[in-house]
Amino acid sequence: MRAFQYKITLFNILFFCSFFVFSQGGKQKELEARRLELSREIQQINKLLSSNQSKEKSQISQIEDLNHKLSVRENLIKVTNQQANLLTREINTNQKQITANREELELLKKGYAKMLQKAYKNKNKHNRVMFLLSATNFKQAYKRIQYLNQYADYQKEQGDKIKEKTIALQKANSNLLIQKEAKSKLIAENKKEQKALEAERKQHEAIMSAIKKDLNKYTAQIKAKEKEARRIDREIDKLIAEAIAASNKKAGAKTTTKSKSFALTAEAKALAADFLGNKGKLPWPVGKGVVKLRYGKQPSPVDRNLTINSNGVRISTEKGAQVRAVFNGEVMGILKPKRSNPIVMVKHGNYITTYQNLGKIYVKTGDKVTTKQDIGEVFTNPTTGETVLKFRIDKDNKTQNPSSWIYKM
């Protein structure tokens, strides 16, 4: 009875370990994919920063770059720590499984040894033929044959089980070595990232120290920059409002001036539905880039008392980067604001994507565009060497978070 209870307990341990390892394996793959993604982003940031190193970048711009880089590297360290911790748990689980396998193997070996000893002793007392001939009738002889066959099958089964357990134990030991090696690599990588993070923090502190000596000047620059951004946003909003009014007038709606949404044709409705169906899967508006400023309200990286309200995202990219339409649509309008670079707006049903800060434009109002079609080139600031695309998404007259729409943004 005690042996039976032990086997049940052993089975439960093995089942739990197998289930735990399976579930942890999926999480480990997810973390590894995220770690590689963050590593690539840091490489891209470094590449973009090194290409602009000889240029006269403002201290505000340097702080923005460093802030983003620090954020990405901190996330990378966090993910790597999670991976290492998960591996520690997997190693502990694997060690429990190895211990359970060893104990079961010992039990099987002992049972098998006893069975062989008994069989050997019985062989000395009377051979197989005498055992069968000593039967009192045919029925008893038949039962003895069945018994001998079953006993032989049982011996073979026990032998096979021992082989299986031995192989399982060897495999578990191999997996454990692989896990320990993977953990060592993660720990070494984390130390390297921690060192880089410390160096970047010191650089950040040095620039911030210089900024704080004349904070009022930099705060004024940020406010002026925000004021200019709001002015351009108003121009974009005005063009959208005019397009909404025009669509309602064409459809024969009575309240053309008050309506806040597009009157859509059957074709436009289908296009809008396709656009919505690709939410989270839309391509980036540039081939390579990193998000320098995210959507929504956020504190200024220079003066935390100042709030920046971003209606879209700012993407830092490489010189000569081509701007791509993120989905099929029609060029709704081209804006050329004063003291700013041209803007292209593309309509996708009742959704609008806006591409700001272009140096070259390849399309005109009314043109039909397709997904990933080049519509222009991002402007590169000759003084700072920065190439930044401002990208925005609207549904009717309401801005959307591009990170919810663009793949892995």
Q: What is the reported pLDDT for 233?
A: 96
Alpha carbon of residue 7 to chain centroid: 42
| Per-residue model confidence as pLDDT tens digits over 278-327 | 999 999 999 999 998 999 999 998 888 889 999 999 999 999 999 999 99
Burial of 278: CB neighbours in 10 Å, binned 0-12, 13-18, 19+:
middle
Q: What is the pTM of this model?
A: 0.72
Q: What is the reported pLDDT for 94?
A: 76
361: tokens are 């434009």
Q: What is the reported pLDDT for 268?
A: 96
Q: What is the reported pLDDT for 170?
A: 78
What domains are there in the chain, each with its CATH number? 2-212 (no CATH), 223-404 (2.70.70.10)
Burial of 141: CB neighbours in 10 Å, binned 0-12, 13-18, 19+:
middle
Q: Which residues contact 387 (CB under 8 A, 6 or more apart)?
A: 316, 317, 318, 319, 320, 321, 378, 379, 380, 381
CB 299 within 8 Å of CB 319: no
User: Which of the residues in the chain have pLDDT under 50?
Assistant: 1-4, 6-7, 10-11, 14-17, 19-22, 124-126, 256
Alpha carbon of residue 93 to chain centroid: 26
For residue 1, CA distances in Å to 7, 103, 108, 158 come to 10, 18, 17, 20
Q: Where is 398: in which H helix or E strand?
A: strand 398-400
362: tokens are 């390849």
Length of the chain: 409
Q: Rounded to an integer, what distance in angstroms lies between the CA atom of residue 407 and that of residue 409?
A: 6
